[in-house]
């Protein structure tokens, strides 16, 4: 089964809690990510300012093509601050994802959540859920 990580780097670093946003730096930038494995999929948003992360489960029945969903959703909502994107497909699970990250010049730093979602962050960072949308 294919494991997918779709990673978009944004030109901003923000805080959900403080409702703030400033230009990204080389080491601090927000991301939008989509991850799929074993029939489940998630959308992940990282907030660089306070190393916060929000994870949403996507309904597989309505999912369709994850790449198409990821690109259209991210362009529609973040097109003005979208810097670059990576689409990674692996037939060898997370090991293959790590290899492909390295091949693209990205550190293979993956975070695994208790719900099964996996997301990329820069090395030396410590992202965890610190806020909830709507709070």
| Domain span at 83 | 3-120
Quote the pLDDT of residue 132: 82
Assess if residue 132 is contained within a domain. no
123 vs 107, which has greater pLDDT? 107
DSSP SS3 for 103: helix
Q: Is residue 98 part of a domain?
A: yes
Residue 129 lies in a domain: no
The tally of domains found in the chain comes to 1
Confidence at residue 36, expressed as pLDDT on a 0 to 100 scale: 94
pLDDT, tens digit, 9 for 90 and up, residues 79-94 = 999 999 999 999 999 9
> Tokens in use for 42?
């998630």
Burial (CB < 10 A; 0-12, 13-18, 19+), residue 79, is exposed
% of the chain beyond a pLDDT of 70: 95
Is residue 63's pLDDT more than 70? no
CB atoms within 10 A of CB 93: 14
């Amino acid at each position: 089964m294919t494991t997918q990580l779709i990673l978009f780097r944004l030109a901003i670093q923000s805080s959900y809690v403080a409702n703030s946003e400033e230009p990204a730096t080389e080491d601090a930038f927000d991301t939008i990510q989509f991850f799929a494995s074993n029939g489940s999929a998630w959308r992940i948003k990282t907030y660089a300012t306070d190393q916060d992360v929000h994870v949403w489960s996507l309904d597989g029945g309505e999912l369709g093509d994850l790449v198409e969903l990821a690109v259209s959703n991210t362009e529609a909502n973040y097109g003005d601050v979208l810097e670059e994107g990576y689409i990674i497909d692996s037939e060898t699970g997370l090991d293959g994802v790590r290899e492909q990250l390295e091949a693209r010049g990205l550190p293979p730093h993956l975070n695994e959540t208790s719900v099964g979602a996996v997301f990329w962050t820069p090395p030396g960072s410590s992202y965890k859920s610190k806020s909830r949308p709507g709070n």
